[in-house]
Structure 1
Amino acid sequence: MNGQVDHRTLLKQFEHLDPQNQHTFEARDLELLIQTATKHLENFDADHHNEFKRYEMLKEHERREYLKSLDEEKRREEEARFEELKKKHKEHPKVNAPVGKNLF
């Protein structure tokens, strides 16, 4: 490293701290910390969602390419199997679904 400091990058690491009060951690610092954490979570969620969409599109592309390589009869069988899997997936109970009130 040539000894120069990138001040913008350094300041981004501490964007949750109030620059007017550098000696104590006050309520304003906490507000800034919460805002920064929320922003980071939103960005992470958006990135994760986009990554998942790309994965799903790639999977569908590979499935279609595979179907192209099959003869007509095997393609129909594979399509029927795929539709059955989709149906089972839709009917599968949700793991984190809220439970009924009469349970407790």
Structure 2
Amino acid sequence: MKQEAVVHSYPLLGSSLAKLKIVNLSQSQKLVDELLKACSLEQIDLQGCISLKSIPHIDQLKNLQLLNLSGCTLLNRTEIIEEIKRLDPEGGLRETKSESMVFSTLVKLEH
């Protein structure tokens, strides 16, 4: 039986996260929901979060420049791409390499 990622909430963190720019939660088994609410986030590394089924609050991440979802095997790639398109309708945030699940505005795209 697979374990699901448990999302915890820490309400006291909310105001102190306003300026947070980079979050590395790679290989995490549990995600802190409040961390992904930090609207100033520019880089999120969730590589290898094998229990991750969705990305909470992705619609609030207007400053996102890098999102690493490689190795997140439970995520639906098509759904993530649709979320990215809604978040960034101008198309600046793109997958860096075909089917890599790494989205960036900073990296030269490879085909």
Q: TM-score range by the shorter chain?
A: under 0.3
Greater strand share, structure number: 2
Kindly name which structure, 1 or 2, has the bigger radius of gyration based on alpha carbons.
1
Specify which structure has the bigger relative contact order, considering alpha-carbon pairs within 8 angstroms and separated by 6 or more residues.
2
Greater helix share, structure number: 1
- The alignment's TM-score, normalised by the length of structure 2, stands at 0.22
- The alignment's TM-score, normalised by the length of structure 1, stands at 0.23
